[in-house]
A and B are shown apart, each in its own frame.
Chain A
Amino acid sequence: MKTTTLLHGRIELALHELRAGSGRALLLLHGLGERSPSALPDEISAWPGPVFALDFTGHGASQLSRGGGYTAEVLMGDADSALRKLGSATLLGRGLGAYVALLLAGARPREVRGAILCDGLGLAGGGGEPGTPSLLFPNPSAQGTPDAFAMVELARDVRPPDYATAFVRQANELSGLDRPISVCCAEHPDWLDAALRETGVERARLADALAEYAAIP
């Protein structure tokens, strides 16, 4: 597995090449507390092009922040750094990575050629509205990745349904794709339910979604 280092702000990110190839890349985005797989997962072996996987800030082989500060928007910036390197890509996100894939599909609608959202850790985040104000202090004995700050901060970042749908509408209006977002999740937090009520977002089997996006020129 070849790993490239990308710089996002002051953080060095690890972008892993799981399979070399030509054509548009598939970019894997892992869930909360996870890291990129070390080998190509069987369920995506049918993807015809290269496959990459990114370790988010504070995860896997990427660097940690200092004193926390993690947000889903920062992770969208992480994924954007990989997208810049790859030129364009189809995104496949698990859990937290699925939410980040949705954000990036809306923020970079011309470069993201389809986003596939799958179950995984951190899909729900902190719900649609903030709960009672509280203080977040991580496990003081934690070391290395995943960063304990990432675990507490990204487990409760607020994900309002109409915030998610604003990104869906951008993907719809600006991507030129009929179905820019495919949902393969059993878990449906409020933000995902709201996204599924928008045009351009549909449930799909993973194999079908991969085949559909692979066919996009």
Chain B
Amino acid sequence: MTDDALPLDPELRAARAFPGARRPDRRRTVESFGVKLAVSEWGDAAAPVIFCSHGGFDFTGTFDVFAPLLAAGGYRVVVWDQRGHGDSDHTPLYSWDADVRDLLTVLDSSTREPAIMLGHSKGGSISTHAIQAAPHRARAFVNIDGMPTNRPPPDVADHERTKLLAKELSGWLDYRNKSSEKVRRADTLDGLAERRGRMNPRLSKEWLRYLVTVGARKDADGWRWKIDPVLRPGGFGPWRAQWSMARFASLPVPLLGVLATVSEPMGWDTRVEEVKPYLPRRAEVIAFEGVGHFIHIEQPERTARLVLDFLRSVL
């Protein structure tokens, strides 16, 4: 059982009764080079597009309060599940380039006009790349806690750094070696809500339970997150945050950056003073006091007001 027909199930019906949450007005599937990607939309289909990309390990359903608020401001809000996430296909491989390509494929299927781009966390970063690679496709950009920091890593002796990398590498290879056998752990609805709550400690129990009903599926032995078990947080690679950071200055569209101020495991802890030297000419960066990494999930009303005010001022 996965989606909107579920409210026949009493447990689900109760969990879905969260104030302000609304399932998408329209749902569709887009094929990106053989990968089926799930796309959701809210609002008038003829209105200007706000094209939203979620963060790593998240899913479209986390926009179920935020997106209707943006749609009520006169926009067509499009949100897509990245490969391996939500209702999109699980794939043999995952990479940054593949995500950017998927993003542009879904954008192509949504509008050929320049769109308002919005991304959270990793979704903010791949949106940044997409705008820089195809600037004619964007007219404004809202980046929600997806601006990297180039703060130097903690001072660690070389031999300690070598040991840390060795552990990371062998852990990554060991995980990949067993990845074909991996399945997400089944749990109760409350159990999954409690697990998500560790990443989002300020969300209400009711909101967490709702998120389970849209980001997990109910199997015979319990609830499981839909995300591909092959995916693993963290990792290593050649990419350097300073490359992304320096290029913010070249963004050709008005930018609203929203940063969290409460440190959380999935967050990047980027501070306003760190990004200021790299901002393009038409940019505004706001730090939300007392809010963690999942800003639009934790405070959807406040974030939507800020985004709509920004769009009114720049478009």
Interface of A toward B, CB cutoff 8 Å: 7-11, 57, 63, 65-71, 73-74, 76-77, 80-81, 84, 106-109, 129-130, 132-137, 149, 153, 157-160, 163, 166, 169-170, 173-174
Of the A-B pairs whose beta carbons lie under 8 Å apart in the complex, a sample of 18, sorted by A's number, is: A10-B91, A10-B180, A57-B92, A66-B34, A67-B32, A67-B34, A67-B91, A68-B33, A68-B93, A69-B92, A76-B173, A77-B173, A80-B173, A80-B176, A107-B169, A130-B243, A153-B98, A170-B169
B59 to chain A, nearest CB (A): 19
Q: Given B94, B166, B177, B238, which contacts A8 in the complex, CB threshold below 8 Å?
A: B177
> Interface 1/0s, chain B 76-117, versus A by CB < 8 A?
000000010000010111110110111010000000000000
Contact between B33 and A66, CB atoms less than 8 A apart:
yes
Is B179's CB within 8 Å of the partner chain A?
A: yes
Contact between A173 and B162, CB atoms less than 8 A apart:
yes
Q: In whole angstroms, how far apart are the Cα atoms of A173 and B158 in the complex?
A: 11
A163 to chain B, nearest CB (A): 5
B170 contacts across to A, CB distance below 8 A: 107-108
Is B203's CB within 8 Å of the partner chain A?
A: no
Most chain B CB within 10 A, of A11, A65, A163, A170, is at A65
Q: Which residue of A lies closest to B158 (CB)?
A: A169
Q: Which residue of A lies closest to B99 (CB)?
A: A69
Q: Which residue of B lies closest to A169 (CB)?
A: B162
Contact between A7 and B180, CB atoms less than 8 A apart:
yes
B38 to chain A, nearest CB (A): 15
DSSP majority for the B interface?
Answer: helix
B129 contacts across to A, CB distance below 8 A: 133
B166 contacts across to A, CB distance below 8 A: 107, 109, 170, 174
Q: Which residue of B lies closest to A83 (CB)?
A: B173
A166 contacts across to B, CB distance below 8 A: 161-162, 165
Contact between A67 and B35, CB atoms less than 8 A apart:
yes
Q: In whole angstroms, how far apart are the Cα atoms of A83 and B173 in the complex?
A: 11
B235 to chain A, nearest CB (A): 8
B169-202 residues with Cβ-Cβ distance < 8 A to A are: 169-170, 172-173, 176-177, 179-180
Task: Assess A10 versus B230: contact at CB under 8 Å? Given A67-B32, A67-B91.
Answer: yes
Is B154's CB within 8 Å of the partner chain A?
A: no
Q: In whole angstroms, how far apart are the Cα atoms of A9 and B101 in the complex?
A: 22
A157 contacts across to B, CB distance below 8 A: 238
A65 contacts across to B, CB distance below 8 A: 91-93
B247 contacts across to A, CB distance below 8 A: 133
Q: Which A-B residue pairs are the 7 nearest by beta carbons?
A: A69-B93, A67-B35, A133-B132, A107-B169, A67-B33, A69-B98, A69-B95
Contact between A69 and B91, CB atoms less than 8 A apart:
yes
Is B133's CB within 8 Å of the partner chain A?
A: yes
Interface size on B, residues (CB 8 A): 44
Contact between B101 and A11, CB atoms less than 8 A apart:
no
A80 contacts across to B, CB distance below 8 A: 173, 176-177
B162 contacts across to A, CB distance below 8 A: 166, 169-170, 173-174
Is B312's CB within 8 Å of the partner chain A?
A: no
Contact between A11 and B92, CB atoms less than 8 A apart:
yes
Q: In whole angstroms, how far apart are the Cα atoms of A130 and B33 in the complex?
A: 24
B254 to chain A, nearest CB (A): 19
Contact between B176 and A9, CB atoms less than 8 A apart:
yes
A58 to chain B, nearest CB (A): 9
Q: In whole angstroms, how far apart are the Cα atoms of A15 and B185 in the complex?
A: 33
Given contact pairs A68-B95, A77-B172, A158-B238, enumerate 13 new A-B contacts (beta carbons under 8 Å).
A9-B176, A66-B91, A67-B98, A69-B98, A71-B237, A73-B237, A77-B177, A80-B173, A153-B97, A160-B240, A166-B165, A170-B162, A174-B166
B236 contacts across to A, CB distance below 8 A: 73
Is B159's CB within 8 Å of the partner chain A?
A: yes
Q: In whole angstroms, how far apart are the Cα atoms of A70 and B33 in the complex?
A: 14
Q: In whole angstroms, how far apart are the Cα atoms of A101 and B259 in the complex?
A: 40
Task: Assess A129 versus B176: contact at CB under 8 Å? Given A10-B92, A74-B93, A137-B101.
Answer: no
Contact between A136 and B101, CB atoms less than 8 A apart:
yes
Q: Which residue of B lies closest to A73 (CB)?
A: B237
B95 contacts across to A, CB distance below 8 A: 68-71, 74, 153
A149 contacts across to B, CB distance below 8 A: 33
Q: Given B83, B180, B243, which contacts A67 in the complex, CB threshold below 8 Å?
A: B83
A68 contacts across to B, CB distance below 8 A: 33, 93, 95, 97-98, 101
Contact between B92 and A135, CB atoms less than 8 A apart:
no
Contact between A106 and B169, CB atoms less than 8 A apart:
yes
